[in-house]
């Protein structure tokens, strides 16, 4: 039995050639990247100089003033963000956006490259016009999460009924990660058109969308949907019920306290927990006897929040906790909560 | 006769060699496009613009720590220095016997607090829950020793953010690492896990949790591991991405969507390579339930870790990794050429079985045949030399190509002497170090098979004993009933 292995010689030669080629390609690529980077820095600097000059002389920038090569969203958008708070910027910004940035962004929305769409939505964050409503609506439904998230801010800024409703629907549809980001944007946004949200509550039946509406109204500190929420505190949908409980507890009204006390004996531990927390946030120390009963709740996390609520009730609540005998199973928990809270207060 | 056996084994080894190298070439080609795509994003895209501000989601870093008194403080400091504003750190002390816990209490002014989190996953007993008085984003949990997987589960129970990062207590993150990871995670729909690249920290100057100067280690072992890590992360993980996603993401740098991990019951407490095991289970769960998902890897997010510097420690570590790989692959055998799991079942999983797991056996067989042929004076020296040159040359080319890609893109080693050192090590990695690892892995496999076999036999024996006992009890009852009737 013989075995012809002369082909291995060919492999050895091929490997040497490949190794040499690899080194050559690396050097060429390194040079290309070096020049690409340099070019971008040069163009950014050029655009920066022109914008600074326009700002100093308080003059608008026209299409022709900026070199064609700088008409790129990744160059202009960061510069616009940089100067956003400068005096006299609005006039420069308006011309720069309407003549260069927004046309680029509108075109990029249709791009198959997601990074381009991402730059488009970032450009809308800087400036947008009424005609951009359908563009933003499209971006809010983009498959790339990052683009959806960035589209919330300009949509709320434009604040049309369609966009506000789309944002509410998207928020309700999303999983926890996206929902928390959407709500975070609301938190940073002061002038949300709450009328649209209340109007939606009048007709909306989807419990998740209703819950989202309460969450947003809570962030905006708007209590205009109080009556709707009082009804929803007894909803069968847990998410809606808990959101409504949290929402009504923004108002320190007797009927709210009565409602919350009633919910302390609810079947669902989540409901008992949320009602306890709400009473703590309201500082409703008159409900101390009812909350104290939860110190022996079957769920440890409800017991823990009952202790925290009592601490929030002030000296009266603390006194009640200090009186718990050492033999009580909840004693250790009370001591730990008191230790941390009082330690923090001392600091 | 013996001549024929030697030739047959040689032909088998060559065929295996061709098969493995075709797989490597596929991986290499798929990795290049991804690396340059990511590099373009980073270099030309101003990533930090996209993940800062309102849309930056909160992230929790879970740090299991077992006997890490020397590194834990620097590591935690590096985690707390992340650019990401909404970043929380949970350190889980896994019953350390050294001063890990004391150092944490002293440095971060920890005070006991009530354990304020639900137990989604069952874990070992928790001994204490601490909050820091000077770092409001830091929580430390002290628990009974039960392994890394269990510690990660404790952290997972305590985690309140929708995303978390699993890492190690001897790992350092660059300040923008989480930004890059988040950017990648949020740029592809339905991403449930995203891994980052890990580099060797030995030799670097680290101050106050920050990598001040990047240098190649001076010792041979950590230096050679630098090359190994470069190849594993840039080539292995990136290459798998377009074909179903990687099966392994680094335990020291992987971001997960919390809900997905909770849905599969958290990390395994029993597998020693929980990072591989969790990714395999995530793939399985998502495919079985037909959920859309993506598991990704980004070489732009970087972590630095300390690697073993002694032969004993590397021997133990690699043996453990290989046994863990065997265990995890065995547990998910259903993937094997199963079209239901698409690319994972048809390419990725068989790749790990044939290339990562069994390459040890084939290589070991190759070396054994070589030694036997030498001993019996049956060795064709010219063939041996040619074969050695081809195989050594090929693996050198693969490593060299990866190192060169790294130099073009995310180059971390700026000093010319380090680059030259890496290129020299690429050539000499296959002389000595590779053979050491093959022997270590081979012995680990033997140990694992013997252990599993012994476990199986013991279980069967216990089962038989239990059955016998049951039978005896039944007989006894039967007789007593019979006598009562009589």
Kindly write down the DSSP assignment for every residue of B31-82, as one continuous string.
HHHHHHHHHHHHHHH-THHHHSGGG---EEEEEEESS-TTTHHHHHHHHHT-
A278's tokens: 């709400």
Q: Which helix (H) or strand (E) holds B420?
A: helix B416-428
A243 and A134 both lie in a single domain = yes
Is residue A344 situated within a structural domain?
A: yes
A197's tokens: 């949200």
A149's tokens: 């998230």
Please state, in angstroms and rounded to a whole number, the distance separating the CA atoms of residues B190 and B367.
46
H-assigned helices in A204-264: 207-219, 226-232, 238-248, 254-263
Is residue A186 situated within a structural domain?
A: yes
A186 and A273 both lie in a single domain = no
Please state, in angstroms and rounded to a whole number, the distance separating the CA atoms of residues B77 and B96.
19
Q: Which helix (H) or strand (E) holds B233?
A: none
Residue B256 dihedral angles phi and psi, to the nearest 5°? -125, 155
The yes-or-no verdict on residue B486 having pLDDT over 70 is: no
| Per-residue CA distances from B286 to A144, B189, B192, B341 (Å) | 19, 14, 10, 10
A247 and A270 both lie in a single domain = no
Please state, in angstroms and rounded to a whole number, the distance separating the CA atoms of residues B261 and B286.
11
Surface of A (287-306) touching B: CB under 8 A:
301, 304
A192 and A234 both lie in a single domain = yes
pLDDT string in tens for chain A (347-residue length): 555 677 778 888 888 998 899 889 888 888 888 898 899 899 999 999 998 888 888 777 777 788 889 998 888 888 888 887 777 777 777 788 888 899 999 999 999 888 889 989 989 988 899 999 999 999 999 999 889 989 998 998 898 999 999 999 988 887 667 777 888 788 777 677 788 999 999 999 999 999 999 998 998 888 889 999 999 999 999 999 999 999 999 998 999 999 999 999 999 999 999 999 999 999 999 999 999 999 989 888 888 889 989 988 988 888 888 888 888 878 877 877 776 655 443 32
Residues B249, B261: contact at Cβ < 8 Å? no
Q: Is the pLDDT higher at B99 or at A338?
A: B99
A246 and A279 both lie in a single domain = no
Look at B393 and A153 and tell me if their CB atoms are within 8 Å: no
Regarding an ipTM greater than 0.95, the answer is no
Is residue A49 situated within a structural domain?
A: no
Q: How far is B191 from chain A (nearest CA, A)?
A: 10
A207 and A293 both lie in a single domain = no
A150 and A187 both lie in a single domain = yes
pLDDT value at position B45? 57
Q: Which helix (H) or strand (E) holds A32?
A: helix A7-56
Residues B101, B67: contact at Cβ < 8 Å? no
- Confidence band of B480 (pLDDT split at 50, 70, 90): low
Nearest residue to B266 via CA among B164, B137, B363, B362 = B164
Residues A72, A101: contact at Cβ < 8 Å? no
A181 and A142 both lie in a single domain = yes
Q: Which residues of B328-361 are buried (b: 16+ CB within 10 A; e: fewer)?
A: bbeebeebeeeeebeebbbbbbebbbebbbeebe
A271 and A227 both lie in a single domain = no
> Which of B113, B390, B407 is the closest to A336 by Cβ?
B113
Last residue in a domain, options A197, A220, A251: A251
A141 and A226 both lie in a single domain = yes
Look at A146 and B50 and tell me if their CB atoms are within 8 Å: yes
Is residue A256 situated within a structural domain?
A: no
Q: Chain B partners of A9 at a C-beta cutoff of 8 Å?
A: 386
Is residue A237 situated within a structural domain?
A: yes
A207 and A138 both lie in a single domain = yes
* Residue B308: DSSP 8-state: -
Is residue A40 situated within a structural domain?
A: no
Q: Could you give the 3-state DSSP secondary structure of residue B270?
A: coil
Residue A16 contacts by C-beta under 8 Å, 6 or more apart in sequence?
B393
pLDDT value at position B53? 66
Please state, in angstroms and rounded to a whole number, the distance separating the CA atoms of residues B152 and B65.
10
> Which of B111, B114, B259 is the closest to A176 by Cβ?
B259
The reply to whether CATH 3.40.120.10 applies to domain B26-266+297-306 is: no
Look at A149 and B113 and tell me if their CB atoms are within 8 Å: no
Which range of residues forms the domain containing residue A230?
Answer: 129-251
Give how many domains chain A has, as a whole number.
2
Please state, in angstroms and rounded to a whole number, the distance separating the CA atoms of residues A29 and B405.
9
- The pLDDT tens digits for B377-399 are 877 788 888 888 888 888 888 88
A96's tokens: 């720069």
Is residue A276 situated within a structural domain?
A: yes
Is residue A133 situated within a structural domain?
A: yes
Please state, in angstroms and rounded to a whole number, the distance separating the CA atoms of residues A277 and B239.
50
- The pLDDT tens digits for B422-443 are 989 988 888 888 889 999 999 9
Q: Which residue of B has its CA nearest to A17?
A: B397
A208 and A303 both lie in a single domain = no
Q: How far is B306 from chain A (nearest CA, A)?
A: 29
The yes-or-no verdict on residue B484 having pLDDT over 50 is: no
Rounded (10°) CA dihedral B100, B103, B108, B109: 120
Give domain limits for chain B.
26-266+297-306
Residues B171, B195: contact at Cβ < 8 Å? no
């Amino acid at each position: 039995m013989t075995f012809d292995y002369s082909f291995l010689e060919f492999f050895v030669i091929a490997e040497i050639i490949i190794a040499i080629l690899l080194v050559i390609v690396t050097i060429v690529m390194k040079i290309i990247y070096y020049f690409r980077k340099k070019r971008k820095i040069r163009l950014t600097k050029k655009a920066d100089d022109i914008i600074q000059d326009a700002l100093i002389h308080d003059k608008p920038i026209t299409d022709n003033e900026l070199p064609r090569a700088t008409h790129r969203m990744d160059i202009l958008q960061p510069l616009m963000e940089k100067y956003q708070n400068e005096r006299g910027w609005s006039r420069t910004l308006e011309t720069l956006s309407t003549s260069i940035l927004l046309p680029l962004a509108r075109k990029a929305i249709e791009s198959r490259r997601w990074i381009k769409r991402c730059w488009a939505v970032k450009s809308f964050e800087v400036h947008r016009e009424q005609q951009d409503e359908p563009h933003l609506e499209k971006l809010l439904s983009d498959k790339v999460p990052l683009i959806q998230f960035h589209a919330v801010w300009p949509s709320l800024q434009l604040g049309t009924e369609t966009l506000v409703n789309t944002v509410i629907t998207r928020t309700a549809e999303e999983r926890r990660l996206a929902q928390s980001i959407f709500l975070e944007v609301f938190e940073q946004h002061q002038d949300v058109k709450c009328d649209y949200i209340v109007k939606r509550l009048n007709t909306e039946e989807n419990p998740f969308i209703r819950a989202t509406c309460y969450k947003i109204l809570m962030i905006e500190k708007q209590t205009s949907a109080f009556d709707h929420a009082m009804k929803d505190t007894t909803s069968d949908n847990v998410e809606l019920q808990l959101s409504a409980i949290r929402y009504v507890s923004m108002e320190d009204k007797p009927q709210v306290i009565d409602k919350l006390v009633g919910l302390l004996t609810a079947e669902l531990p989540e409901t008992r927990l949320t009602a306890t927390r709400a009473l703590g946030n309201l500082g409703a120390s008159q409900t101390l006897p009812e909350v104290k009963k939860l110190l022996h709740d079957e769920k440890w996390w409800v017991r823990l929040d009952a202790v925290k609520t009592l601490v929030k009730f002030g000296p009266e609540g603390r006194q009640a906790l200090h009186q718990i005998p050492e033999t009580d199973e909840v004693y250790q928990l009370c001591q730990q909560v008191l230790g941390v809270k009082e330690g923090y207060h001392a600091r | 006769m013996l001549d024929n056996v030697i030739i047959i084994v040689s032909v088998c080894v060559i065929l295996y060699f061709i098969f493995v190298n075709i797989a490597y070439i596929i991986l290499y080609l798929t990795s290049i496009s991804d690396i340059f795509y990511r590099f373009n994003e980073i270099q030309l895209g101003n990533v930090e613009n996209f993940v800062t501000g309102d849309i930056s989601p909160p992230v929790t870093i879970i740090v299991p720590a077992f006997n890490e008194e020397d590194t834990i403080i620097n590591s935690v400091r590096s985690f707390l220095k992340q650019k990401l504003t909404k970043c929380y750190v949970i350190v889980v002390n896994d019953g350390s016997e050294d001063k890990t816990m004391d150092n944490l209490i002293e440095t971060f002014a920890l005070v006991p607090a009530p354990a304020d989190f639900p137990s989604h996953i069952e874990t070992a007993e928790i001994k204490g829950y601490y909050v820091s008085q000077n770092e409001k984003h830091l929580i430390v949990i002290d628990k009974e020793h039960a392994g890394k997987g269990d510690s990660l589960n404790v952290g997972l129970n305590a985690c309140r953010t929708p995303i978390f990062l699993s890492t190690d207590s001897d790992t350092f993150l660059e300040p923008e690492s989480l930004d890059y990871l988040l950017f990648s995670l949020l740029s592809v729909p339905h991403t449930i896990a995203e891994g980052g690249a890990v580099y060797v920290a030995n030799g670097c100057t680290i101050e106050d949790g920050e990598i001040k100067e990047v240098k190649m280690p001076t010792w041979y072992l950590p230096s050679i591991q630098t090359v190994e890590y470069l190849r594993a992360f840039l080539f292995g993980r990136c290459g798998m991405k377009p074909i179903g996603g990687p099966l392994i993401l680094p335990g020291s740098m992987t971001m997960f969507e919390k809900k997905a991990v909770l849905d599969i019951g958290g990390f395994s407490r029993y597998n020693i390579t929980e990072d591989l095991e969790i990714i395999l289970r995530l793939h399985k769960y998502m495919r079985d339930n037909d959920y859309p998902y993506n598991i990704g890897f980004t070489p732009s997010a970087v972590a630095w870790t300390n690697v073993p510097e002694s032969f004993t420690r590397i021997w133990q570590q690699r043996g453990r990794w290989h046994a863990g790989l065997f265990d995890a692959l065995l547990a998910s055998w259903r993937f094997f050429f199963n079209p239901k799991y698409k690319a994972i079942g048809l390419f990725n999983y068989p790749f790990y079985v044939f290339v990562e797991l069994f390459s040890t056996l084939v290589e070991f067989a190759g070396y054994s045949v070589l030694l036997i042929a030498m001993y019996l004076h049956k060795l064709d020296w010219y063939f041996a030399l040619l074969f050695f040159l081809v195989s050594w040359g090929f693996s050198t080319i693969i490593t060299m190509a990866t190192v060169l890609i790294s130099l073009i893109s995310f180059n971390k080693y700026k000093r010319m002497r380090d680059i030259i050192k890496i290129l020299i090590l690429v050539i000499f990695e296959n002389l000595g170090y590779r053979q050491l690892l093959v022997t270590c892995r081979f012995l680990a496999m033997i140990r694992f098979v013997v252990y599993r076999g012994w476990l199986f036999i013991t279980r069967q024996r216990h089962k038989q004993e239990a059955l016998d006992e049951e039978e005896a009890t039944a007989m006894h009852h039967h007789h007593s009933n019979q006598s009562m009737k009589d």
